[in-house]
Structure 1
Amino acid sequence: MLIRVKFNHHVDSFAAEKADKILKNLERFPDNIKQIAENGFLDPLLNHLTEGSEEVQMEMTSYLGELILSNDSKAYVAEKASTSIIKMVQSGNTIFRNAEFKALSQISSHHPNGKILVEVGILNIMAEMMFTRRIYDELMDSKKEAAAILANVLESGVEHDSIKVNTHGCRLSSNYAVYNIIHMLKNSTPDELNINLIWILLCLTKSPRSMDTIVSVVNETEASYTLIELINNPHEQVGVAVIKLLILLKPHVEKQALSARFLAKLPQQNLTLNLALLNNNVVPTILERIFLIKRNGTRTSRHATVYLEGLDGILVRFTATLYEPQMLFLARTHNLTSVFTEMLIKTSSDEVQRLSAIGLENLSLESINLSRPPQIKKTGSKKLFRLPNLLSSRSVETRKIPVLCPVHRGACSSETTFCLIDAKAVERLLVCMDHENDEVVEASMAVICTLLDDKVDVDTSVSLLSENNAIQYVLKVVKEHRQEGLWQKSFWMIEKFLVRGGNKSVSDISQDRLLPASLISAFHNGNESMK
């Protein structure tokens, strides 16, 4: 009430003058100053903060740190009191350090205050807090608060290349500063500190000079592994921020080929990263590069092979999150089923074959959900629509009945439902099963297994696979490979052929002389599932 009356001079100047005197009398007691500030009148608090004794200044700063300020109030406080608060931080009194940092954190969160805070030297002081002060010198971890304030100021867009961060003249864009930030990230630090360290790096990437330094330090310290681990951090903000940083670093980290492989090896199930890649429209570029590499050949270039593996791996990661409508639309738009089918054979890289098979498995698992019985379209004269067909040998209405997929029992295509049958991928997958590399064989078998799932027409699948002599490929895998996962898949497939394949499949399997010995070995040495 007093504050409202004080500022209503035009209504009653006498009452306003009296209210002002009462408020000044109330200022004699610190608790009153706090209550006045809580009601929106900050001048008494700020005046005591800037002009009072050291003890009063500390108390006012503590009050300020507890207040929730509007953006206008933050701007006013920055203009009136930022210099005094910075001086208190520099004084080294750790008892009230927490309150000082809280106040600066609030002020810096209003980006227009960035310029004022830079002018009073906040960047230098916060950098010193982060890089040189020891945690055991403080009653609280000042590094975390300093990083938050520094990140806020940098996000305001202030020029930082010329800002010095220590007495030796090192700048914020120097190896010294970036190395210290990376070093803190590589050591187990609180999530609150990590998020602010990453935001600082994100802000620094806006400057070409700083970006060059970050790339150099990341490569030198192999910090990319640390950043990858942070993607799966339980703190969602950490994961989102580090993904943004990795995407910005991608074009600059080592060679193009290693950059692509780097992205491919990030956790495939991370939807945030996949959406970020999609929004950067990387798929058309990837497909274009794949086409050029395949046209020029990879046999004479190790670089081209590594690049192709990375590009293929990035495409595969999109198939790991097909539950997201945008990913489903992407896979259909670019017909990834056909892309991976082509990659199975036209490559000299085992890794490309393995990745392509994984992509096909992910896509094929969705086929049964996407394949739907077609709606019959009717055409003809509306006037005669109700006449029964028996009245004429020439039907008045004609029915267009699409051919159904024999396996998925619906209208299928490689493009819209990722159907392996329509993509003619089965024969190529069987060829990949006749491979020396266990991983390629297992990935290829996993794709074939999707055609024997109980959700599809297994009898038809077995019949189609038998036409391609699939059981012989499976029996050969049992003979030539000893990997447990391969044997488990092989026996599962053999069981399907025995139950659903009829006399011919039973005959083919029973004539294999080495199979009984393999079964006995698996029974004695395999896990419970295999037994």
Structure 2
Amino acid sequence: MSSNGPDPDTLSWAISTTLKTLHATKSTQIQKENFNKLSSYLEKITHILQELTNFEINDSGSLKNAIHVLTKHVSEANNLALECTNRNKIYLLLNSKKLVKTLENITKEMANALNLLPNFISFNGLSQDIIKLSNIMMEPKYQETVREDEIKERIESGIRERNVDRAYANSLLVSIADVIGISTEQSVLRQEYEEFKNEMETVGPAEDVAEVLQVEQIVALLGKADIIATLEEREKKYFSKRNSLGRQPLEPLQSFYCPITGDVMEDPVETPSGHSFERYAIEKWLAEGNNGCPITKTPLKASGLRTNKTLRQSIEEWRDRNTMIFIGSMKSRILSNEEEEVIVSLGKLRDLCLERELHQEWLMMEDYLPVLLSLLSTKNFKIRSHVLVILRILATNNDDRKETIAKTDDGIKLIVCSLARKIKESKLALQLLTELSENEVARNIIGSSQGCILLLVTISGSDDPQVANDAKKLLDNLSFLPQNIVQMAKANYFEPLLHLLSSGSETVQREMADTLSEVEMTDHGKLTVCESGAVESLVAMLSHVDIEMKKAAILALEKLSGVPQNGLKMIKQGAVDLLFGILFRESLSMPILVEKVVATIMNLALSLTSGELDHQEIPFLESEEDVFKLFSLISLNGPNVQQSVLRTFLVVSQSPSGSNIRKTLRKISSVQVLVQLCEHENLAVRSNAVKLFCGLIKDGSENDDTFQEHVGPKCVETLLRIITTSDKVEEGVASMEIISNLPKNPKMTRWILDARALELIVSILTNRFQKPEIMIESASGALSRFTVSSNPDLQKKVAETGIITTLVHLLDSGSSLTKRNVSVSLRQFSESSSSLTRPVKPKSSLFSCCLASPELGCTVHSGICAIDSSFCLLEANAVNPLAKVLDEADVGACDAALDALLTLIAGELLQKGSKVLEGGDVIAKMVKLLSSADVRLQEKALVELERIFRLPEYKQKYKSSAQMPLVEITQRGSSGMKSIAAKILAHLNVLNEQSSFF
């Protein structure tokens, strides 16, 4: 040992600094694993420095400098540890990669300084320890944790997605708190976020915050978390912004639209030339081989695209602004008496709630909850269903809202009522209650709701496994109830009730019937009740002399008849005649029951179309007197009765025996009433009236003066208004079909034209991609009334709209029915072509051929043809599309297309037209039609081929393909077809003229 050691003050200072740094690294909450590794190095360095005081030193001056260098880097480590203790933890987390790099650099610098020490130490053992530690510290292997990487990836993902909701931000902030070691209490999280936000505002350009992540975007993303703001703060911020917006939504700026898609952009990117496009659209443009900007045509590569952050933010602010205005203004529409408007508005609210969780909070702030819950008491199934879906969305993953929904007046009671309704609604209510039951307060309220447990026990026996399981799950959630209540609910509630209904005193029977009409039941429960004998007892009560007994039975039957199997059982038990008897003979003594009786009759009629019949026809409304009396109720009662009566007739008129009912309805002047109801203010009444009217007129109106007598210009205008304004597609289609089937006389046609029906039909067909297919089918059918060849002036008026080209396109894109209707119109047009073609002008002089090109005549019609003047199928390029329709499986479409094509070989056009048909492969397809299963189509092809095969060039070409089908017809066809087939075979030299087939 030597006394010639380094300066004691230097060593003391180094040891003190190292110990201080060691303490700082062990106190750091950020990068714990990495700082623990650094701490282990510092402990070894401290040991080495302490040992140096005991050994001989060769060059104390140089050693002092080495210790100074080492201490300097240890101090840097101390400063880093203190920074990680004092700086905002979120900031440090986002800069974890930079911290790791700094740790590596400091550790390596300390290793280099340590590497100098062995040169001055004579003790070999200590020198070896120093060299070993120095080598280890040269490869420190610090790294970010998996959780740190995951959080940064989630931040990047959130920024990319842009529309992440608050649930995402909340989860992200909680994960960050866990990693950086702070509490998840709101006050702590809020303070940490505010510190981070403030610190980010002071970050200089030299600091690489979170590497490539943008500071503003990170702050905005984490700022979406509602756990850092109180509800009062969020409401104040919302209403402050909403009240400053005005009431009218803003149209999008022109710059918001993508030049390629024509839609408002979601993710706009900017090209070097300064134009913005939807990212996926411009990327697709480039991927398809285009290498220039779609607008400027300047060279463009995908790498040259840059996110247009300013534009994207403007679009998002515009969307939020309009959504706030929309939500704020929608409440009045939901509270309106127009059911269809309410349904549409609720659908839009549902979509908004699904779109972003933020929209759900805006709904709650606008106090929509009481309004939504109140709608559960309406009679409209669609409205109630929409509300249940919206409530479930609001309740999902939000404990506060679950409790708020449960505490709102009568909220749970109204939801429980939906348990007892149609199975679809029952499912929705069950799902909502199950979601709510995850909250303790809501669970207690649900369990205490009258009738809830009983309904759940009943539903748990459902045939639907999902429904049964959901009911059992909810019962398990409610199992905190006293055991006796649950056990009582599990008892067979209906067994004693049904026993008393059949064998009790009259008073008891009436009470049991009242109970059945009042108790909430699922469809499964209703079916169980009727299978247990309730129908027989209730139908028997209809014959009772006591009015109150009848009333109780009617109410119960009306409720139970909503299930088709029950309705059929009631019909078979004779309920129909008894109900008609009460309706027509006793209604004056109990007018309040008319609505219930008619509703029950409607349910019974609906049961006949349910598919539950065992292939037997059950008589219903066979008496003309019953038809007359039931229909007459429309003029004597309000909308509810009117709707039920109309729907009853609509159903039965579409049954196998419906033609007799439709005939009776026309006989009793129902058309006059239906015409009036087409203007009814109640949309349901109007819709059913229009549909019934359509069914009556479809039977044929040409020889029925009833329609001509009662349908005038006003009615036509009403029908067209319905087509343009109704939200119900079926109602619009029915109105269009009425227009199509109205008497085709000049007066009616003039009324229809004056009402601008033609323009509407053309508009629908022209904008076919924006309309439902059934409307296109109906409109294409209606057009044919304007294209009849007997009225060429009207044909010209239609053709001048340019519709013929659209009709040809529909042959490719339309449904089979649309193709059939289009083919009819094209046939009618083509029937006029021969008389409308313009003769080719003869050459006027010897030199005229040198002065102008001669006009070329039509291949078929030999004159000058044009689409809008002669309606020529060739000029319209309709031959090939019509030929394709001949391959359709739909016989009607095939038949209509063939009729249209055959106009090209009518009369003297045979030779020229046949060439056109052959060019379109039509003759070959006609040969195939000889084997068609449809006799009419087969015969039509046969007759026309007989004419075509008179021409030598065709009989030789098609002889081999036509021979076998023709022989088959001579063996199995009708007598007339056999003769024609034999005649063709004679043309083909297969049979001689003296064959027995003739």
What's the TM-score bracket when you normalise by the shorter of the two chains? 0.5 to 0.7
1:307 aligned counterpart, secondary structure: helix
Q: Which residue of 2 aligns with 1:406?
A: 859
Does 1:521 find its partner at 2:972?
Answer: no
Does 1:494 find its partner at 2:945?
Answer: yes
Change (3 A) 1:466 1:307: same
Q: Which residue of 2 aligns with 1:263?
A: 736
Greater mean deviation of Cα atoms: 485-494 or 254-263: 254-263
Does 1:359 find its partner at 2:825?
Answer: yes
Does 1:369 find its partner at 2:835?
Answer: yes
Contact 1:316/1:358 (CA < 8 Å) preserved in 2? yes
Contact 2:678/2:687 (CA < 8 Å) preserved in 1? no
Q: CA deviation at 1:459?
A: 1.4
1:435 aligned counterpart, secondary structure: coil
CA distance in 2 between partners of 1:215 and 1:377 (Å): 64
Does 1:485 find its partner at 2:923?
Answer: no
Q: CA deviation at 1:416?
A: 0.8
Change (3 A) 1:520 1:198: closer
Q: CA deviation at 1:499?
A: 1.3
Contact 1:413/1:422 (CA < 8 Å) preserved in 2? yes
Contact 1:179/1:217 (CA < 8 Å) preserved in 2? no
Matches within 5 A, 1:10-409: 188=664, 194=669, 209=681, 212=683, 215=686, 218=689, 222-229=692-699, 231-235=701-705, 238-242=707-711, 244=713, 245=715, 248-249=718-719, 251=722, 255-260=728-733, 262-264=735-737, 266-267=740-741, 270-271=744-745, 272-294=747-769, 304-320=772-788, 322-324=789-791, 326-347=793-814, 349-374=815-840, 401-409=854-862
Deviations 1:395-439 (A, max 9, x none): 699677532223112221122111111111111222221222222
One-letter code aligned to 2:884: V
CA distance in 2 between partners of 1:246 and 1:423 (Å): 32
One-letter code aligned to 1:290: L
Contact 1:338/1:415 (CA < 8 Å) preserved in 2? no
Change (3 A) 1:231 1:240: farther
One-letter code aligned to 1:215: R
Change (3 A) 1:464 1:254: same
Contact 1:337/1:420 (CA < 8 Å) preserved in 2? no
Residue segments in structure 2 that go unaligned for 5+ positions in a row: 1-583, 586-632, 650-660, 980-998
Contact 1:332/1:416 (CA < 8 Å) preserved in 2? yes
Q: Residue 885 of structure 2 is aligned with which of 417, 432, 439?
A: 432
Contact 1:227/1:242 (CA < 8 Å) preserved in 2? no
Q: CA deviation at 1:249?
A: 4.1
Q: CA deviation at 1:453?
A: 0.9
CA distance in 1 between partners of 2:914 and 2:928 (Å): 18
CA distance in 2 between partners of 1:258 and 1:212 (Å): 10
Change (3 A) 1:228 1:492: closer
Change (3 A) 1:359 1:217: closer
Change (3 A) 1:478 1:228: closer
Contact 1:199/1:241 (CA < 8 Å) preserved in 2? yes
CA distance in 1 between partners of 2:849 and 2:819 (Å): 52
CA distance in 2 between partners of 1:325 and 1:517 (Å): 40
Q: Residue 920 of structure 2 is aligned with which of 444, 468, 472?
A: 468
CA distance in 2 between partners of 1:202 and 1:282 (Å): 18
CA distance in 1 between partners of 2:825 and 2:937 (Å): 18
Q: Residue 417 of structure 1 is aligned with which of 849, 852, 870?
A: 870
Change (3 A) 1:219 1:400: closer
Change (3 A) 1:172 1:315: same
Contact 2:812/2:881 (CA < 8 Å) preserved in 1? yes
CA distance in 2 between partners of 1:525 and 1:324 (Å): 38
* Root-mean-square deviation (Å): 4.2
2:807 aligned counterpart, secondary structure: helix
Contact 1:474/1:490 (CA < 8 Å) preserved in 2? yes
2:741 aligned counterpart, secondary structure: coil
Contact 2:857/2:865 (CA < 8 Å) preserved in 1? yes
Change (3 A) 1:241 1:373: same
One-letter code aligned to 1:283: L
TM-score by length of 1: 0.52
CA distance in 1 between partners of 2:934 and 2:831 (Å): 24
One-letter code aligned to 1:482: A
Change (3 A) 1:435 1:318: same
CA distance in 1 between partners of 2:734 and 2:642 (Å): 29
CA distance in 1 between partners of 2:687 and 2:731 (Å): 15
CA distance in 2 between partners of 1:228 and 1:247 (Å): 19
CA distance in 2 between partners of 1:396 and 1:485 (Å): 50
Q: Which residue of 1 aligns with 2:959?
A: 510
CA distance in 2 between partners of 1:508 and 1:247 (Å): 56
One-letter code aligned to 2:798: A
One-letter code aligned to 1:279: D
Change (3 A) 1:306 1:201: closer
Deviations 1:289-341 (A, max 9, x none): 333333x6xxxxxx822121112112222223x42355223222123432221
CA distance in 2 between partners of 1:430 and 1:260 (Å): 28
CA distance in 1 between partners of 2:836 and 2:776 (Å): 30
One-letter code aligned to 2:767: L
1:231 aligned counterpart, secondary structure: coil
CA distance in 1 between partners of 2:730 and 2:666 (Å): 34
Change (3 A) 1:471 1:199: closer
One-letter code aligned to 2:969: S
Q: CA deviation at 1:516?
A: 2.7
Contact 1:316/1:355 (CA < 8 Å) preserved in 2? yes
Contact 1:173/1:204 (CA < 8 Å) preserved in 2? no
Contact 2:816/2:893 (CA < 8 Å) preserved in 1? yes
1:329 aligned counterpart, secondary structure: helix
TM-score by length of 2: 0.29
Residue segments in structure 1 that go unaligned for 5+ positions in a row: 1-131, 134-167, 297-302, 379-388
Contact 1:257/1:304 (CA < 8 Å) preserved in 2? no
One-letter code aligned to 2:934: Q
Contact 2:787/2:794 (CA < 8 Å) preserved in 1? yes
CA distance in 2 between partners of 1:230 and 1:418 (Å): 29
Contact 2:646/2:689 (CA < 8 Å) preserved in 1? no
Change (3 A) 1:190 1:509: closer
